[in-house]
């Protein structure tokens, strides 16, 4: 545990690590306050492209945590960064929430439903056959298919809901074209997190609750990985994977309370 506490900073997943739905998880307030009091660098990183950093900051504020927007990085921002690096000034047809469109717009990527360079998909509650039909036609016409993240489902207060991977699948099947997914486990997001913090991978611990996205992304980014059991993964699930996190904790509060579970 001492090795974790001595890290210069932390990259933390959000859902299942910091909160679940609209409820802050036990020990999170103590962990965040400990990071602030000890001048730790930190960024909250999420595969969800549905909210802007400001909206995420406001969400935590409603839960009693004051964290400024510059401490958040989303798959929407990562997608915009990626497309800007690949083709500055490109255009996109977007199926997603306003936060995804705004992230693209802020990087000079403009909306185009006639002949876009890319079709970009993110979680949204406005998915419909008309948009699906349009996306298929554009990809068949030469647009490249991009997913903000590969997650097939997400856990909400209403239960299991389809995520970006599920929304992309019909387009892949209909066109025979495979999407490129920007979010975790693609290490692009974690590398950007390191740039935000101004740290090397060895200086940081990455904290997540999923073996298939969080832990593998941390391992491939050469970071110490911390699996917390406060989200979707149970201890018995770990043996289903050919890799392991460096640390296994009940929750982030254990970092402060020094109660590591081997």
List active site positions.
Answer: 13, 15
Report the alpha-carbon distance of residue 231 to residue 163 in Å, rounded: 17
**β-bridge partners, 23:** 20
Please compute Rg for the chain using Cα positions: 18
Smallest Cα–Cα separation from 205: which of 189, 192, 221, 186? 221
What's the CA gap between 94 and 226, in Å, rounded?
A: 34
Could you tell me the CA-to-CA distances from 216 to 173, 190, 211, 225 in Å, in that order?
A: 27, 11, 6, 9
What the block records as the tokens of 184 is 């975790």
Is residue 207 a contact partner of residue 251, using CB atoms and an 8 Å limit?
A: no
């Amino acid at each position: 545990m001492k090795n974790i506490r001595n890290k210069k900073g932390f990259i933390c997943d959000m859902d299942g690590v910091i909160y679940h739905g609209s409820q802050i998880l036990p020990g999170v307030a103590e962990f965040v306050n400990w990071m602030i009091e000890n001048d730790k660098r930190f960024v909250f990183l999420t595969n969800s492209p549905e909210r802007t950093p400001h909206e995420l900051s406001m969400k935590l504020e409603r839960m009693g945590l004051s964290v400024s927007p510059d401490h958040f990085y989303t798959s929407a921002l990562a997608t915009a960064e990626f497309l800007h690096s690949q083709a500055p000034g490109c255009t996109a047809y977007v199926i997603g929430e306003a936060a995804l469109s705004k992230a693209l717009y802020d990087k000079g990527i403009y909306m185009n439903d006639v002949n876009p360079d890319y079709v970009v998909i993110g979680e949204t509650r406005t998915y419909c056959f008309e948009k699906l039909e349009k996306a298929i036609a554009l990809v068949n016409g030469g647009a490249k298919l991009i997913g903000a993240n590969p997650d097939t489902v997400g856990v909400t207060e209403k239960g299991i809901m389809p995520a970006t991977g599920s929304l992309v699948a019909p387009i892949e099947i209909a066109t025979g074209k495979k999407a490129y997914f920007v979010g975790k486990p693609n290490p692009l997001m974690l590398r950007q997190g390191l740039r935000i913090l101004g740290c090397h991978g060895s200086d940081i611990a990455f904290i997540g609750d999923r073996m298939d996205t969080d832990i593998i992304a941390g391992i491939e980014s050469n970071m110490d990985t911390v699996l917390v059991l406060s989200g979707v993964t149970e201890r018995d699930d770990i043996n289903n994977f050919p890799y392991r996190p460096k640390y296994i904790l009940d929750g982030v509060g254990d970092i402060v309370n020094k109660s590591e579970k081997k």
